[in-house]
Structure 1
Amino acid sequence: MNRIASGLAAVLLSLAPLGAGGTAIAAPTKVKVFIASMFEIGANTGDRAGEFQHWYERYWQKSQPHEARGALKPVYCDGDGVCGAVLGMGKVNSSSSMQAILLDPDYDFSQAYFLITGVAGTPPSRGTIGDVSWGTWLVDYDLGHRWAPEEGKPGEPVFMPRKGYEEYRVFKLNPALVGWATRLSAGVNLQDSESAKQYRQRYLDEKARAAPSVQTGTHMTGDTFFHGPGLSKEAQYMAKLYGADDYVITEMEAAAITLVIKRQFGTDRILSLRGAVNFDQGNPNETTLQHLDPAPGQTAGGFAETVANVEAVGSRVVDHIVGNWGEWQKGVPPLPAK
């Protein structure tokens, strides 16, 4: 190192914040995209893949885990600003992890995009096993009043919104960002399985019997694992009641995570991406309880293919944002003309 460069390095070091021991404190990692998964089945690599494994294998195999105090699992980051973690299942579990990570001083999320990912259910009238869905709206299923059907008028809804939750029971995600996501993921070759193909034929709906595809619509967040045609109809009623798009996905985390992010950074840079691994109701020849507790060999199949599909679709968007960071850094660019 020459004398001028050596002197400049010394000046820069002297200007850096110092820790208690007099050593320079590293600048926080500037996060470009944060990928949130809800669970992993075993290890992060080398065994049966859950929601996180394909992301880990694509971006973080050479990365070191970072413990964020209060988060369920470590955070991983690559050298390009792509970070991610397993947050935990359910609204409280996942949102508390997200809050802990956002407050960790080792990260700078001021310009970050957030990709909330995982598996989910779908109504057979709107989707099928293996579908991958971009959320246009997020609706919280639990914030309201409910009563038993026999305690109301026959055939009428048994749900009523509770006052006071207007600001956080429904979120419209940035249409321009969702538009980019659907455009970038068009043409992705989605995997399918023979077991899923056979299972779909138990249903009469055209959507349920179709091959997997990329969809858009409302993602319904509920800690309650609602199931059956009656509650599926109720979820669709809620989506329409709130002015959202058709309910297409039932999941357990996205609205809660979005609220945590919103309070610090808004919602303009949030995407919800889910893969359908089950229908939210049984076929015409089985009861709801039979569908919830199937006999051995009677499950839908297609789980492995669906989690692979989620990563294949989502990574298109992640790689585009990071690869064109100059255009995305300050906000979502306008969609190009078709």
Structure 2
Amino acid sequence: MLVPKMLQVAATAAISLMVSAGSPALADEPIKVKVLIGAMFEIGENTGDRAGEFQHWYERYFSQSKPIPVKGALSPVYCNDDGVCGSVLGMGKVASSSSIQAIILSPQFDMSEAYFIVSGVAGTPPERGTIADVSWATWLVDYDLGHRWAPEEGEPGAPTFMPRKGYEKVRLFQLNPDLVGWAMQLTGKINLKDSESARSYRMRYPQEAAQRAPAVKTGTHMTGDTFFHGPGMSAQAQYIAKLYGADDYLITEMEAAAIAQVVQRTLGDHRLLSLRGAVNFDQGNPNETTLEHLDPAPGQTAGGFAETVDNIAAVGSRMVDHIVAHWPEWQKGVPPLPRQ
């Protein structure tokens, strides 16, 4: 019959038009990601106000990019035309790792060849670092996966931590030494910003490392949801790092080991970097208690926050720009380090 046939032809044409026009999620090719930058928080807007962890990245790479909502992620993803993407993942292990998993698994992106830079502010022990330092992680260690007890309930002077069996594969991650080597070769000599308030604050600490000008370093990043503080807890962090076979504990942060576990399970962690800037010491100076250092009086904070978040992006962008500019060499994996 003629009328039903005409209706059938019209319906087929309409379906064809819908498929060809399609929604972006169905019709568009996934964005091929070369580098994904993950920050943990932003203070206010992405630009135009006081900068948190993401603003300098946003202004360098994403000011012309539209937000891409991702189901399950804390914040939208921004991508530029060069394949550089970035997002605010959230603070702590759960928020950050769930966001990165949602982004990796989203069909809007092709992450199969992506490099990851987890970036943000952190603390450092005064024996090894100072305010406004920037550090590339060599190892990521989870501070929390074990047993703890009050010092008075154990042997005097003995450690108050014991690893829990069953977490061996998720408590320690060695990041690709060649990739870390590239990062240091490209960024190790960058002159970092500093502030008068940070220079003055450093002098409260007797340790030589604490009094030095900021620099780009490498070391173990310790991930813990608990904001541990004081010389005793700092010594415990170093004890755990050495117990697991990592190198010197240099950074205390809250996310990287959890993010590494997600990246490792989905894509492999050989393209992962952790980049942190020190905005506080993990303990007070000899003239203050731990509680006094945790809750400082007005005007007694470390200073240098603005300079540190700028330093993080300045250091990290050198690595991002190199990967993108030399993508044919980096696409299939980390190239061999050139001889110096």
Shared fold per TM-score greater than 0.5? yes
The one of 17, 21, 28 equivalent to 1:23 is 21
Secondary structure, counterpart of 1:117 in structure 2 = strand
- One-letter amino acid of the structure 2 residue matched with residue 305 of structure 1: E
The one of 314, 317, 320 equivalent to 2:319 is 317
- One-letter amino acid of the structure 2 residue matched with residue 231 of structure 1: M
Match of 1:168 in 2: 170
Match of 1:301 in 2: 303
Secondary structure, counterpart of 1:136 in structure 2 = strand
Q: Pairwise CA RMSD of aligned residues?
A: 1.0
Structure 1 58/246 Cα, relative in aligned 2: closer, same or farther at 3 Å? same
In 2, the alpha carbon distance for the partners of 1:122 and 1:186 equals 18
Match of 1:253 in 2: 255
In 2, the alpha carbon distance for the partners of 1:320 and 1:33 equals 11
Match of 1:148 in 2: 150
Q: How many residues were matched structurally?
A: 321
- Residue 186 of structure 1: CA displacement? 2.3
Match of 1:111 in 2: 113
- One-letter amino acid of the structure 2 residue matched with residue 139 of structure 1: V
In 2, the alpha carbon distance for the partners of 1:147 and 1:103 equals 39
The one of 53, 56, 59 equivalent to 1:54 is 56
- Residue 130 of structure 1: CA displacement? 0.3
- TM-score, reference length from structure 2: 0.93
**Is 1:221 matched with 2:237?**
no
In 2, the alpha carbon distance for the partners of 1:93 and 1:140 equals 16
Query: Equivalent residues in 2 for 1:83-232 (5 A)?
Result: 83-232=85-234
In 1, the alpha carbon distance for the partners of 2:74 and 2:19 equals 29
Match of 1:268 in 2: 270
In 2, the alpha carbon distance for the partners of 1:66 and 1:133 equals 30
Secondary structure, counterpart of 2:270 in structure 1 = coil
Match of 1:37 in 2: 39
In 2, the alpha carbon distance for the partners of 1:118 and 1:266 equals 22
- One-letter amino acid of the structure 2 residue matched with residue 42 of structure 1: G
Which is higher, the Rg of structure 1 or of structure 2?
Answer: 2
Moved over 2 A (4+): 18-24
- One-letter amino acid of the structure 1 residue matched with residue 266 of structure 2: Q
5+ residue gaps, structure 1: 1-17
- Residue 189 of structure 1: CA displacement? 1.8
In 2, the alpha carbon distance for the partners of 1:55 and 1:312 equals 9
Secondary structure, counterpart of 2:42 in structure 1 = coil
Structure 1 98/19 Cα, relative in aligned 2: closer, same or farther at 3 Å? farther
Secondary structure, counterpart of 1:268 in structure 2 = helix
- TM-score, reference length from structure 1: 0.94
Question: Deviations along 1:189-215, whole A, 9 cap, x unmatched?
Answer: 200000000000000000000000001
In 1, the alpha carbon distance for the partners of 2:266 and 2:102 equals 12
In 2, the alpha carbon distance for the partners of 1:331 and 1:187 equals 25
- Residue 188 of structure 1: CA displacement? 1.2
In 1, the alpha carbon distance for the partners of 2:104 and 2:284 equals 39
Structure 1 323/306 Cα, relative in aligned 2: closer, same or farther at 3 Å? same
Contact 2:117 2:274 in 1 (8 A): yes
- One-letter amino acid of the structure 1 residue matched with residue 63 of structure 2: Q
Match of 2:293 in 1: 291
5+ residue gaps, structure 2: 1-15
In 2, the alpha carbon distance for the partners of 1:277 and 1:85 equals 21
Question: Deviations along 1:226-285, whole A, 9 cap, x unmatched?
Answer: 000000000000000000010000000000011011101111000000000000000000
- Residue 187 of structure 1: CA displacement? 2.1
In 2, the alpha carbon distance for the partners of 1:235 and 1:122 equals 11
Structure 1 122/19 Cα, relative in aligned 2: closer, same or farther at 3 Å? farther
Match of 1:332 in 2: 334
Contact 2:221 2:251 in 1 (8 A): yes
Contact 2:118 2:275 in 1 (8 A): yes
In 1, the alpha carbon distance for the partners of 2:176 and 2:156 equals 38
- One-letter amino acid of the structure 2 residue matched with residue 326 of structure 1: P
